[in-house]
Structure 1
Amino acid sequence: MSDLDLILTAAREAGALALSAREGGLKIWSKDGGSPVTDADLAVDALLKDRLGAARPDYGWLSEETADDPARLSTTRQFVVDPIDGTAAYLKGKPWFAVSIAVVENGRPIAGVVHAPALDETYVATLGGGATLNGAPISPSDTEDLEDAAMLGDARMFVHPSWPTPWPPMRVESRNSIAYRLCLVAAGAFDAAIALSSKNEWDLAAADLICAEAGAALTDHLGRTFTYNRANPLLPSVVCANRALHPLILSRVGHIALP
């Protein structure tokens, strides 16, 4: 079984578990830092670690819900996993959460799946093989102007008075899962997505490949692409857009100094 077939099968099984666990009632608590976690996050993580680890015992493992093991840094390939990306939506009964799984080699994803089980949407990509949604090829929008663009982000951020140049009117919406947001841009359902706050490798790795293979641009707010399986998995920010809008967004946010 190929890496892609392996992670696709595992993502679908994990998505089914996430849905059934939510229907059965969740135990919810807060992590250090205040973000929510549920018993289903841990159950899905355990399922994926078992399935993927048994099939590829020599691969490293990086997951939001597993204590990090530095041994991954010396492996040739790694699984980079977010068992339930968008836990806030998940625990509120909303559909905007996803299982995100990437296989990383030499710092870059070579296979990726973002599976949104409540929406029956499965985004898939392999390096050099294009990107698909439920088996059909995807590509970003052809919007060339930020005015009236369909933007995923925090509406309050765009109207903050401190911007040197005010943002034009845009149709701004939010989706809890960052991986799912990036896939929506890759598929042309939205024109761009911005998050000027830190994310982790497991939030981005699978969607990074899906965006690249679809033809969307994904960087931090300074235009830097991402490298994966680093000692510190924290990444500063996210700017994702079609190729026309991406430089227009960078010109507006590149002055910002983030921690």
Structure 2
Amino acid sequence: MTMDHELSILSEAMRRAGREALRMAATGFDTYTKPDQSPVTSADLAVNQILRDHLSAAFPEDGWLSEETEDNHNRLTRSRVWIVDPIDGTRSFVRGLPEFCLSVALVEQGMPAVAAIFNPATGEFFSAIRGQGIRVERQAEAGQAPFTPPERPLALVNPWELRVGRFQALEPHLHCRPIGSIAYALALVAAGQADAVVTLEGGNEWDIAAGVLLIEESGGRATTAAGHPFTFNRADPRVKGTLAIGIDLTTPTRTHLIQLSAASRDLRAPLP
């Protein structure tokens, strides 16, 4: 069974939601603080509602897991579940930086089958259907330039982990650049604009589900920080770090990345 219909409906919903995010970025939005001290805006909530309205209307039997929707474990009984981060990189969105995105995956039996990541600020739209490769498009009318990689090889990393020195062992081997959205980072690696994504701790399924499929469909590899494969739509959506390696990274640098990431299993302090 092909997933072209699902991707078509998803793409339309994401483009509409992305336009709303940009409208609110221009006209104003409210910002709140969640119990975990992370920010959420009225734009996150508006995007979440647009995506849910469109996808639930088109596919009423599918489950739903979103960062901005109270979890309902009925999703665990569904063979297909939409896993959604309405705006990944909310801090960047609030600051007006073009490093945020909408990230959605359709997971079937625990594996992403369809994925799309959309950065409305740059117009970059990354999508994939399992077994059909990755597609990258850019809207000509986008207001801001797309990501431009600095020196290569390049790893996109968690800003806090970089500040506290967790990537010092990597810096002789590749450049480490902080980025506010792991979903956007995964899409950039899948598109060949960077070479790896490393977060040694933390994360949730909605941060990475779409990006994992993009990485895999581009020929790369994506695992937990400790090297374990991902499965999705679990009762506890938290993940233990992420390591994604692009197809072009050389073997010696891959080895350094894997060694550093595997050592992260000894880390116990939660991310702030």
> 1:252 is matched with which residue: 252, 260, 270?
260
Q: Is the CA contact (8 Å cut-off) linking 1:159 and 1:166 kept in structure 2?
A: no
Q: TM-score, normalised on structure 2?
A: 0.85
The Cα shift of 1:156 comes to: 7.2
When the two chains are superposed, the root-mean-square deviation of aligned CA atoms in Å is 2.2
C-alpha separation between the residues in 2 aligned to 1:153 and 1:164?
12
Q: 1:191 aligns with which of 195, 208, 227?
A: 195
CA deviation digits over 1:27-72, x for unaligned, max 9?
A: 0111011100001111111111111101101000000000000000
Aligned length: 248
1:45 aligns with 2:48: yes
Q: Which one scores higher on RCO, CA 8 angstroms, separation ≥ 6? A: 1
Q: CA deviation at 1:182?
A: 0.7
Contiguous gaps of at least 5 residues in structure 1: 136-146
Match of 1:143 in 2: none
Change (3 A) 1:155 1:114: closer
Take 1:158 and 1:175, find their aligned partners in 2: how far apart are those partners? 10
**In structure 1, what is the Cα distance between the partners aligned to 2:132 and 2:227?**
24
1:1-259 to 2 correspondences below 5 Å: 2-134=5-137, 149-154=153-158, 157=161, 167-168=171-172, 170-243=174-247, 244=251, 245-256=253-264, 257-259=266-268
For the 8 Å contact 1:101–1:206, the answer to whether it is kept is yes
1:233 match: secondary structure? coil
111-120 or 154-163, which deviates more? 154-163
Tell me: CA distance 1:96–1:158, structure 2 relative to 1, closer, same or farther (3 Å). closer
Partner letter of residue 63 of structure 2? G
Query: Which residue of structure 1 lines up, in the alignment, with residue 143 of structure 2?
Result: none
Helix, strand or coil at the partner of 1:123: strand
Task: Provide the identity percentage.
Answer: 37
SS in structure 1 opposite 2:105? strand
Is residue 108–residue 227 contact of structure 1 (8 Å, CA) maintained in 2? yes
Stretches of structure 2 lacking an aligned partner (at least 5 in a row): 139-150
